Structure 1
């Protein structure tokens, strides 16, 4: 996943002004960072943080893991690398969420109005907006790592409201019952956590049945053509 293949960054990074960074999102899922000092592939040892689950990674572009309403940067923007044929644990975010897919992804969303799970397949270049507190899970349908660009309003990974999973929703619901008060979650104090936990488990059941999804024959052909185009463009 994190190899030392030829970097193929254009233009020559030595020509970049000091402080400018160039990111090349390669079709096989890796990311190369270039600046005045040279080019290197982002790796987990120095560049990437754990992204909700083991085996998933994030690299912040705006804000950081500690961003919160109390320590705001207005939004966080980060690169994510999603493992082959894997999906995040279903969760909901305390703020709205935008994800740009650079590969073949899918997003399982719980539609509260219809009372069911909707699966939205994504292809390279499609961006999806997910409203605040909508249960969802992002998946990689391909056999190669998937690069995404994710923007969240107001929250970094370390904040308690960044990604609320079913067990955490259960815990908050129990706290409301035992204390007779709304769980201490700031702007999310009115959330029905029992309903949230149930919706998240609906997504989990769909994931277990369907898996992360598959790429089609046309998508696999398009991916091969995209890799070929990348090799032509990256070494001009």
Structure 2
């Protein structure tokens, strides 16, 4: 942690209840308060984040947030494993992701009928509309830290991340109306209008692209920039 003055690591002068998060360039996160500093770890601080090996730490709301138990939005830190990608999915609410490393977002463009890949560099934030099929990948060989905000849903809610198998399950339900693409789901209007067969097909398209292209790679310039960023962070941490 950077100096605050006083106490362990200079954190002792923080008012009670104030926390500092240091998001390191190597993908780790250090949490500091007036009692000291520690690195966030899966044993006590991190929840499973859609897939095994991916983790989340809530800042606003919690895993049980839902329209029935609202906090208006959830905000969480995510730690994405090296050169890995989330299972393609769609969220019941809109989604904002700030990348603090070298990421890529695969999005299904329904208007053009194709998968579009958007590379992201540190400091870029992407907004994804509700129910847009997408996946998020880490192009780097180090863990990636992201800051993710979702409207209305925590990761325990059934509509937080709808994958292709789940979309297919909903489409096969006895009450699914293929004429209007409106299943029996009582959620938001967008969910009520969702064509789950089309959603599943779009998510399968993203899966195929992922299998062929993988999570992507960093460029020579990005690798050089990452080394410079680590150097700068090391200098800042010793002030």
The TM-score range, normalised by the shorter chain, is over 0.9
Tell which deviates more after alignment, 179-188 or 48-57: 179-188
Q: Quote the offset at 1:190 in angstroms.
A: 1.6
Are positions 1:195 and 2:198 aligned together? Answer: yes
Residues in 1 aligned to 2:236 and 2:16: alpha-carbon distance in whole angstroms: 24
Instruction: After superposition, give the CA deviation of every residue in 1:184-206 in whole Å (9 maximum; x if it has no partner).
Output: 25221221000000000000000
Native 8 Å contact 1:169 1:197 kept in 2? yes
Change (3 A) 1:131 1:80: same
Tell me the equivalent position of 1:57: 55
Native 8 Å contact 2:170 2:176 kept in 1? no
Native 8 Å contact 2:2 2:236 kept in 1? no
Gaps of 5+ in 1: 1-7
Are positions 1:235 and 2:209 aligned together? Answer: no
Residues in 2 aligned to 1:230 and 1:125: alpha-carbon distance in whole angstroms: 15
Q: What do you get for the CA RMSD once the two structures are aligned?
A: 0.9
Change (3 A) 1:109 1:180: closer
Instruction: After superposition, give the CA deviation of every residue in 1:62-81 in whole Å (9 maximum; x if it has no partner).
Output: 00000000000000000000
For residues 122-133 of structure 1, the aligned pairs below 5 Å read 122-133=120-131
For residues 103-118 of structure 1, the aligned pairs below 5 Å read 103-118=101-116
Tell me the equivalent position of 2:3: 10
Q: Quote the offset at 1:10 in angstroms.
A: 2.7
Tell me the equivalent position of 2:184: 183
Residues in 2 aligned to 1:179 and 1:96: alpha-carbon distance in whole angstroms: 26
Instruction: After superposition, give the CA deviation of every residue in 1:123-154 in whole Å (9 maximum; x if it has no partner).
Output: 00000000000000000000000000000000
TM-score normalised to structure 2 length: 0.93
Tell me the equivalent position of 1:218: 221
Tell me the equivalent position of 2:78: 80
Instruction: After superposition, give the CA deviation of every residue in 1:141-189 in whole Å (9 maximum; x if it has no partner).
Output: 00000000000000000000000000000000011xx235523252212
Residues in 2 aligned to 1:206 and 1:10: alpha-carbon distance in whole angstroms: 45
Q: Quote the offset at 1:91 in angstroms.
A: 0.1
Tell me the equivalent position of 2:64: 66
Residues in 2 aligned to 1:82 and 1:10: alpha-carbon distance in whole angstroms: 28
SS at match of 1:18: coil
SS at match of 1:15: coil
Residues in 2 aligned to 1:174 and 1:72: alpha-carbon distance in whole angstroms: 29
Gaps of 5+ in 2: 5-9, 178-182
SS at match of 1:186: coil
Aligned counterpart in structure 2 of residue 28 of structure 1, from 21, 26, 29:
26
Equivalences, count: 227
